[in-house]
Structure 1
Amino acid sequence: MGPRSTPHLDERGWLAFLAESSDLLAGIPEEDLAAALTAQLLVPRIATWCAVYLTDDSDPMRPTTTRLSRVWHQDERHNECLRNLLEKAPAPSVSGPGSRMWHWPEELLAAERLDCGPASASAAGYAFPLLFGAHSYGVLLVSRPRSGVFAQEVHHLLEELCQRVARTLYLARRHSRLVETSRALQRGLLPPRLTRIPGIDATIVYEPAGEGINAGGDFYDVFQVEDERWYFALGDVCGTGPEAASLTSLARHAVRLLAREHYPLPPILDRLNRAMIEESTSGRFMTLLCGELVPRTDGGALLTLVCAGHVPPLRLRSDGTVQVVASPQLLLGVVDEVDYYTESVELAPGDSLLCVTDGVTERRHGARLLDDNSGLAGLLASCTGLTANAMAERVRRAVHAFSDDPPVDDMALLVLQAHAR
C-alpha cells in the first residue's frame, strides 16, 4: 500500500482526535506503553509510519541517551524491517520547540535496500520534540506525506499531541522512579534472607499491596542471637508512607539490638513502645508478634511469645489439630505504661506455627472476611502433612482466591515447622 496524502481535518475532527488521544494517554504508568499507543494513534490516520524515541537521563553521571522505543507501519509486515533501518540511523535530534525535517542518512541509502514499503523509501520525515516544560522526553518521527508537507492544521495537531504525550511520559517517569525508590526502601526494611535454624524449616511470604509505591506496612525478621537461640518478629505498622517506613525501621532494628543485648521479650516491647510514642507525631501504632525460639536437641523447639495487638499465631499439630497459642495484648504506640507478658508454646517434631498479618485474616469478599468462622484455622488444618513451603503457598493462594479484587493491604506470613534433628 502506497503513502497517503495528508488527511484534511476540520476543527471538530481535530479537537475530537486530541480529546480521544488525551483519554487514552491518561494514567498510563509506563513510558514504552505510552510510546506504543502514540504510534498507533497516528498510523494510519496521520502518517504511513512513525517512530517514538525516548531519552534517558536517569544517571546524572552519564550523558543523556536516546533509544528507539516503538515503530509502527500501516502495513505491520514492515515493522521489523523499518525498526532495523531506523536503528542503523542516528536518532533524530530536536533541540527546541517546532518540528524539523529528517532525512535518511546518505550512507544508509547507499548501503541498504529500503524495501519496507514505498513510504519508508521516501527521503524524509518530520521530527517533533516531546517537550514538557523545559525538559525533553524524546522525539516523535513521522513519515512525510506524499505532498511533501503537512497541512497546517495537521502540523498543529501533531504539535498539540506531542505536548500531551510528553506530559504522559513525564508522569510515567515520575511514577516509575517513585516505585523504584519505594521498592529500594522496602528492601532496606526487610532482611535479605531468612536465617537457618537447626531442626526448623522457616518460610516467609511477603507481598506489599498495590504496586509497592508506599513503603511501610508489614515487616518481618528472623535472626540468631546466640548459638542455640533465635528471635523472630512479624509486625504491621498503621498506614504507609515515609513515617510508617521510619517506624518499621525503628521496630526492626530496635528488636534486633535489644535482643542481642540479652533483653527479655517484655522489656524489648516496653522500650519499643516508648520509642514509638516519642518518635511518632501522628499517633501511629503498630501490632507486633515477637518470639524467641530455642531448638531442642531431640527435635522440635520451645517458643516464648509476646503478641502485642497482633493476629494470634496458630499451631498445627501433626494430627491436624489447630490451636491458638498466644493471647493478644495491647498494641504498641498507644499507652506509655504497658505490662507485656510472655507465653510459651512447644513445637514437637511435625508441628507447625503459622504467623500472619491482618492482610491475611481481613482479606475481604463483600461483607465476608477470610477469618470469619475461624476460616484461617480451617485453612491451616487442610495443610496437615504439607512442608513449610507448601503450607505457605497454599495460604497465599487462598488469600488471593478469596476475592476477585486485588488485595488492598500488605500480606506477610511466616511458617515455622519443626522436625527431628
Structure 2
Amino acid sequence: MTQPQASKYLGKLLQTIPVGVVTVDSRGAVLACNRTASEILSLYGPEERLLDDEPLGMHVTDLFEDKERLTGVLAESFDGEPRAEVFVRTGADGPRHVQISVRRVPIGTDDGVGILVLQDVTERVEADKTLKRAVLDREFLTQSGAELSKSLDYQTTLATVSRLAVSYLCDWCTVNMVEPNGAITRATVAHVDPDKENLIGELHNSHPHDHGALTNVPRVLRSGEPELYAEIDRQLLEDTATSPEYLRIVTELGMQSCMIVPLIAHGETLGVATLVSSNSDRRYDHADLEIAGELARRAALQLYNARLFQAVDESRAKFANMARILQRSLLPPELPTMPGLDVAALYRPATDTLEVGGDFYDLFETGDGDWGVVMGDVQGHGAAAAATTALARYTLRANAMRLARPVHVLYQVNKALLAHSEDRFLSAAFAKVGLGKGADVTISCAGHPKPMVIRHEGRVESAGGEGMLLGLFAAPDLAEQTIELQPADAIVFYTDGITEAGAPRNMLGEEGFRQVLSRCMGMTAEQICASIDEVLLTWQTEKGHRDDCAVLVLRVTTEAERQSSEVEDRSSLL
C-alpha cells in the first residue's frame, strides 16, 4: 500500500470509528474533526479534515461551557501531561456530557497538534446522577421517618414536616390543614432563611385559601392529586396574582418551581404541603414530585396518629377531671376542727387509672359530743365503686349519729351493702373518739388494716378490733378495741395502698410503714402526712405503685401547743 493510499485509508478509518477525534493547534484553534466528533458536538463541517494546517474557524473552548478549565487542560497537555476530563456541551437537543482525552502529537508545526479524543458519556453521567440522587432520596426519607416518629405532639409534628421539606426538597414550604369545620388554615411555614418566614405569613394573609377557588391548594384538597409547576415565569406570577401586594411578596420570596402535595392518611385528606424552589438552578420534575409525595404520605400518617393521640389525651384529661370532681364529692371538702386535736389527711389516687378510686375517709361529729372517724377501701374503681363509696359513707354517718358502738355502725353498713350493692364489698376502719385531756378512741376494723399509733416517746403500735370484710356475709364477725391517746400521741388511719406501695416486687409492707412513722415522733399531723407522702413518691418513682392511698392523722396537742394556738387566735383578732 502506497503512502497516499495509507493516508486515505487512515482518513476513512478515522471517519468511521465510534469515538470523536478533534485536532487543535497549540493555540486551541480547531484544525479538523471526524464524523463522530461532529455528531457529538453537533458540528456539520467537512467530513475529512484531520491533519490540515488550515483551521476550521473556531476555537476549541467555544465548544464547551467551562472555557477556563478546558484552556488549562490543553495547556497542561501541550506541556506533556495527558489529561482526561468531562465537559458539558449544550446543543439544540440539550446538554451533553463529553469526556475529552487530550494528548500532544509532534507533527505538523514545531508545537505539534493536540489530539482530542471525545466520548459522549451523557448516559453514564446521567446514570451516576440518578444513582446518587436515589441514594440521597433514600437517606432523606429514612431520616424523615426517624424525625417524624420522635413525637406524637400534633404541633411538633407539623413543624417537623416543614423543617424536613426545606432541609432537602425546597427553599420554602407551607403546610395547610383542613379544620373540622372545613376551613383551610395555615398550620406551619418554614424557609431556608428564617428571616423570610414572616413574608410567607404576609402572603397567606393577603391571599387566603378558599374551597370555592378552583386553584392551588383547594383544588389539590378536593382532588387528592399532587400538582407540579416545573417552571414558573414572571408572566404566570402576574396572571395569578390577586393583588399588587401578593405579587410583591411572591417576587421577594422567589418562586421558580413549585409542588403541591396532599396529606392523605387512611383515605382522609388532612391538608396539603406546598414546596417552592426559589433557586433558578432547580426545576422540579416528576422524580421530585414522587419524593415529595412520599414525605407527605409519611407525614400524613404521623399527623393522623398525632391527632388521635391528642384526642385521646384530651379525653383522658376530661375523664381525669371528672374523676377528680367525683372523687372530691366522696371526700370531706375540708377537715373539721376538733378541740384539742390536730388533724390532717392525705389522698393519692392510683397512678395508672383515670377512674374514681375506691379509697375514702371521713371525719364528723356524731351529735353526742363524740367524733366519728372513717377510713375505707371499696373493691374496684369507677362508677360502681363510687356508688358503693357514697352508700357506705352516708350509711356510716347516719348510723353513727344514733349508735354508740363502732361494731353496730359497721353492721348497718354491711346490711346496706347486701341490700343495695351487688358484688361489691369493702374494708373499713371506724372509730368513735371521745375528747378530754387526751382522747379515748374505740376502733373496729372490718377487714381493714389496723390504724397505727405513734406514742409521744416514739413507740409505734397498731390498735383496733379485727373483723371480716363488709358486704360478703349476713353476720360478719366484728370486734372493737378502746385505746387512750395522751398529749403528743397520734393515731394514723390508712388504706393498704400505703403498705402495698411498690408491689409486687418491692412492697413497703407494714414493717416498712412502722419505720416511716417511727421517724415522725414530735411532728404535727400535717408533717406526718408530708413524710408519708414523700415516701410514697419515692416508692412510686423507683419501685412502682398501683393502688390508691389514703391517710388520716389525729394527733393530741400538748398544753403548750394549745396555749400558743390561743395566743395566735387572740392576736389575729386585734
Q: TM-score, normalised by structure 1?
A: 0.72
Pair 1:33–1:156, CA change in 2 (3 A)? closer
**1:417 CA drift (Å):** 1.5
**1:176 CA drift (Å):** 2.8
Query: CA offsets, 1:106-125, max 9 Å, x none?
Result: 89968x999xx969x99999
- The one-letter code of the counterpart of 2:450 is P
Q: What are the residue-to-residue correspondences of 1:368-407 with 2, within 5 Å? A: 368-371=506-509, 374-402=511-539, 404-407=542-545
Correspondence 1:204 to 2:345: yes
Larger radius of gyration: 2
Distance between the aligned counterparts of 1:410 and 1:385, measured in 2? Answer: 27
Pair 1:131–1:270, CA change in 2 (3 A)? farther
**1:315 CA drift (Å):** 0.8
Corresponding residue to 1:221 among 336, 342, 362 = 362
- The one-letter code of the counterpart of 2:519 is S
Q: What are the residue-to-residue correspondences of 1:196-275 with 2, within 5 Å? A: 196-198=336-338, 199-226=340-367, 228-260=369-401, 264-275=405-416
Pair 1:24–1:226, CA change in 2 (3 A)? same
Pair 1:14–1:188, CA change in 2 (3 A)? same
Pair 1:79–1:268, CA change in 2 (3 A)? farther
Corresponding residue to 2:474 among 315, 336, 359 = 336
Correspondence 1:290 to 2:413: no
**1:348 CA drift (Å):** 2.2
**1:316 CA drift (Å):** 0.7
Q: Is the 8 A contact 1:31 1:173 kept in 2?
A: no
Who is 1:187 aligned against? 325
Return 5+ residue gaps in structure 1 as ranges.
Answer: 1-6, 58-62
**1:50 CA drift (Å):** 6.4
Secondary structure of the residue aligned to 2:467 is coil
Distance between the aligned counterparts of 2:333 and 2:395, measured in 1? Answer: 19
Correspondence 1:155 to 2:293: yes
Q: What are the residue-to-residue correspondences of 1:18-417 with 2, within 5 Å? A: 20=146, 24=150, 28=152, 31=154, 44=167, 98=224, 143-146=275-278, 147=283, 151-190=289-328, 191=331, 193-198=333-338, 199-226=340-367, 228-260=369-401, 264-281=405-422, 283-296=423-436, 298=437, 300-364=438-502, 367-371=505-509, 374-402=511-539, 404-417=542-555
Query: CA offsets, 1:215-241, max 9 Å, x none?
Result: 223222233443844323222222333
Pair 1:252–1:88, CA change in 2 (3 A)? farther
**1:130 CA drift (Å):** 7.7
Q: Is the 8 A contact 1:225 1:231 kept in 2?
A: yes
- The one-letter code of the counterpart of 1:200 is L
Distance between the aligned counterparts of 2:417 and 2:555, measured in 1? Answer: 32
Over the aligned positions, Cα root-mean-square deviation in angstroms equals 4.7
Q: Is the 8 A contact 2:176 2:271 kept in 1?
A: yes
Distance between the aligned counterparts of 2:391 and 2:191, measured in 1? Answer: 55
- The one-letter code of the counterpart of 1:273 is N
Who is 2:40 aligned against? none
Distance between the aligned counterparts of 1:256 and 1:235, measured in 2? Answer: 13
**1:288 CA drift (Å):** 1.4
Distance between the aligned counterparts of 2:177 and 2:388, measured in 1? Answer: 39
**1:46 CA drift (Å):** 5.7
Q: Which moved more, 1:170-179 or 1:392-401?
A: 170-179
Distance between the aligned counterparts of 1:91 and 1:261, measured in 2? Answer: 73
Number of residue pairs the alignment of both structures matches: 396
Distance between the aligned counterparts of 1:394 and 1:159, measured in 2? Answer: 53
Structure of greater relative contact order (alpha carbons < 8 Å, 6+ residues apart): 1
Distance between the aligned counterparts of 1:417 and 1:87, measured in 2? Answer: 67
Return 5+ residue gaps in structure 2 as ranges.
Answer: 1-132, 212-217, 228-236, 563-574
Structure with a larger share of its residues in helix? 2
**1:52 CA drift (Å):** 7.4
Secondary structure of the residue aligned to 1:162 is helix
Query: CA offsets, 1:293-313, max 9 Å, x none?
Result: 3333x4x33323221111211
Pair 1:173–1:253, CA change in 2 (3 A)? farther
Query: CA offsets, 1:302-331, max 9 Å, x none?
Result: 323221111211111111121211133211
Pair 1:184–1:20, CA change in 2 (3 A)? same
Q: Is the 8 A contact 1:314 1:355 kept in 2?
A: yes
- The one-letter code of the counterpart of 1:382 is R
Pair 1:14–1:196, CA change in 2 (3 A)? same
Q: Is the 8 A contact 2:259 2:274 kept in 1?
A: yes
- The one-letter code of the counterpart of 2:389 is T
- The one-letter code of the counterpart of 2:408 is P
Distance between the aligned counterparts of 1:67 and 1:259, measured in 2? Answer: 62
Q: TM-score, normalised by structure 2?
A: 0.55
**1:418 CA drift (Å):** 1.7
**1:416 CA drift (Å):** 1.5
Distance between the aligned counterparts of 1:312 and 1:98, measured in 2? Answer: 68
Q: Is the 8 A contact 2:405 2:432 kept in 1?
A: no
Q: Is the 8 A contact 1:317 1:350 kept in 2?
A: yes
Q: Which moved more, 1:218-227 or 1:353-362?
A: 218-227
Pair 1:167–1:390, CA change in 2 (3 A)? same
Query: CA offsets, 1:40-71, max 9 Å, x none?
Result: 666635666767788998xxxxx899998877
Secondary structure of the residue aligned to 1:197 is coil
Pair 1:278–1:375, CA change in 2 (3 A)? same
Pair 1:139–1:365, CA change in 2 (3 A)? same
Secondary structure of the residue aligned to 1:289 is strand
Distance between the aligned counterparts of 1:50 and 1:275, measured in 2? Answer: 67
**1:383 CA drift (Å):** 0.8
Q: Is the 8 A contact 2:469 2:476 kept in 1?
A: no
Secondary structure of the residue aligned to 1:328 is strand
Q: Which moved more, 1:284-293 or 1:387-396?
A: 284-293
**1:210 CA drift (Å):** 2.0
Distance between the aligned counterparts of 1:151 and 1:140, measured in 2? Answer: 13
Secondary structure of the residue aligned to 1:337 is coil
Secondary structure of the residue aligned to 1:408 is coil
Distance between the aligned counterparts of 1:247 and 1:231, measured in 2? Answer: 19
Distance between the aligned counterparts of 1:69 and 1:107, measured in 2? Answer: 23
Q: Is the 8 A contact 1:216 1:248 kept in 2?
A: no
**1:394 CA drift (Å):** 1.2
